[in-house]
Structure 1
Amino acid sequence: MQTTKHYKTALSIAGFDGSGGAGIQADLKTFSALGCYGMTVLTALPVQNTQGVRSIHGLPLKAIEEQLEAIFEDITVDVIKIGMLFTEEIIQCVAAFIKRSRYKHIPCVLDPVMVAKSGDPLLKPEAVSALKKTLLPRASVLTPNIPEAEVLFGKKIPTDTTRLEAAKALAQLGPTTVVIKGGHTQDAHCRDLVYARETSEHMWLDNPRINTHNTHGTGCTFSAAIAAHLAHQKSTEKAILLAKTYISQALEAGAAYSMGHGHGPVHHFHAFWS
């Protein structure tokens, strides 16, 4: 008798990137590279390429809710990854759905996307408060970069001490684990902070900075990698460490390629392509 197999499934609730380097496209590539069956719910349609964002079209709330209903009514979701949400209304729509009692057990990785690699805004300023109030309490892992953490925290965090202070404060809003990514500094090393609320323990992840212009979608890819490893039932700490290795290798492998005239993508399939 043949045994029925089940995929490890990961759902990305995020925006679109027609150039393929960020958003749901980056998430799907990451999920696939790490052995997960990826699914998506589209929240917004940024018209963008490697050079920047030309315009953004938010999806109607009804369309977003119908997408969520269609997935969850039919397929078991092992992990949720949330990226670009764009408006306060979209944030509230997504939050109301995933906070339903029957979905509360599903791990959720929240990447609080605010600005594209090109510097173009991807979250309306008035939506930050809604993000903090409705989705941070639902997050298993929160993955802001330093500028995003500063917006959420309300203060500049130029030092290790202030970053740890910010991580502790953000964790008190609900996330079980906060990862403040250090890629936006000009230091020779990228220094990420991982803070666990339940134990009040923290660790620093130090990696040499990779010299590359191809950094489009790094945040999306990193958070999607954490989600993929959580779907495979890795511990949160292990998932973060494995995701850090994956994004570092994707950046290093992608540095050799040229795509577009702006910030090119990382190499999501570096382990499979020669």
Structure 2
Amino acid sequence: MRAKALTIAGSDSGGGAGIQADLKTFHTYQVYGSSVITAITAQNTLGVQAFELVSPSLIERQIVAVLADIGADAIKTGMLGNATIIETVANSLRRYPVALVVDPVMVAKSGDRLLVEDAVQALREQLVPIASLITPNLPEASVLLGREIDDERTMYAALDDLLKLGAKAVLLKGGHLKGQPLDLFADGQQVLELRSERIDTPNTHGTGCTYAAAITALLARGADLVSAVCQAHAFLYEAIASAESIGAGHSPVNHWVWLSERTV
């Protein structure tokens, strides 16, 4: 039977992040993708020009419509926008106990804020505790914990505190580090270092969405969490390395790199 994954996130009109990036990534892994749209953005590779949030009631109706009929083997959340939407999503997903990857999207690649400040507490208290994995980058982890996380020492020190928020595991992404990037995975039993060479390219739009979507797709296919994270890390590196310029700003990663280079 075909593996299925659901993404609950914002729509990127430029196609490089959000719902569009998630569905492209699911397709790469031959996973059937469905979607719940939480926001509609007007954006391109230069940034977010505007966005409007979808009503919580319609978001809930989308979730019920998809899961009551199609179902999902794994679910991913991205841009949620405000506290009411976060609470609506969390309450809805508690009824569907499948693997949940929470990408705590707060700021776009361009620097545009995508989550209002008073929603952080709802994210921390409502959604993170029901997650199988959270995937914050360094700025997002800093907001979640209320302290600066900006080097390897503070990354390691943050792992236990991030786990105390309630998620079963955390993938702390260190793409914002000076020098070579480092990602840390921790689940309370082990800490894994995921290192790679920094690629000199402006074409990194949608990296966080794509990374989390790849993990979600692999979980939907039955992979264990550690294997899913490691495989997704390798996929993202190649997707960045092979990315081409689509627009004049931060163009998206190459979501199809493994379709042309290997059999999944």
Q: 2:30 aligns with which of 10, 32, 35?
A: 35
* In 1: Cα distance, 2:47 partner to 2:71 partner: 35
1:150 paired to 2:150: no
% identical equivalent positions: 45
Q: 1:268 aligns with which of 251, 255, 259?
A: 255
Could you tell me the TM-score, scaled by structure 2's length? Answer: 0.97
**1:14 Cα offset (Å):** 0.3
Residue 53 of structure 2 corresponds to 58
* In 2: Cα distance, 1:152 partner to 1:209 partner: 26
Q: 2:71 aligns with which of 76, 79, 98?
A: 76
Residue 9 of structure 2 corresponds to 14
Please, what is the CA RMSD of the aligned residues? 1.0
Which blocks of at least 5 consecutive residues in structure 2 are unaligned? none
Instruction: Give deviations 1:150-190, integer Å, cap 9, x for gaps.
Output: 00011012332321221211111111110110111221x21
Residue 87 of structure 1 corresponds to 82
**1:273 Cα offset (Å):** 4.3
* In 1: Cα distance, 2:239 partner to 2:209 partner: 12
**3-state DSSP class of the match of 2:144?**
helix
Q: 1:191 aligns with which of 170, 182, 191?
A: 182
Q: Partner letter of residue 170 of structure 1?
A: L
Q: Partner letter of residue 192 of structure 2?
A: M
Q: Partner letter of residue 146 of structure 1?
A: L
**3-state DSSP class of the match of 2:227?**
helix
Could you tell me the TM-score, scaled by structure 1's length? Answer: 0.93
* In 1: Cα distance, 2:142 partner to 2:150 partner: 9
1:253 paired to 2:242: yes
Which blocks of at least 5 consecutive residues in structure 1 are unaligned? 1-5
Residue 3 of structure 1 corresponds to none
* In 2: Cα distance, 1:11 partner to 1:98 partner: 11
**What is the number of residues matched between the two proteins?**
261
Q: 1:122 aligns with which of 108, 114, 121?
A: 114
Q: Partner letter of residue 134 of structure 2?
A: L
* In 1: Cα distance, 2:260 partner to 2:170 partner: 32
Larger radius of gyration between Structure 1 and Structure 2: 1
1:204 paired to 2:172: no
**1:271 Cα offset (Å):** 2.4
**3-state DSSP class of the match of 1:35?**
coil
* In 1: Cα distance, 2:135 partner to 2:39 partner: 20
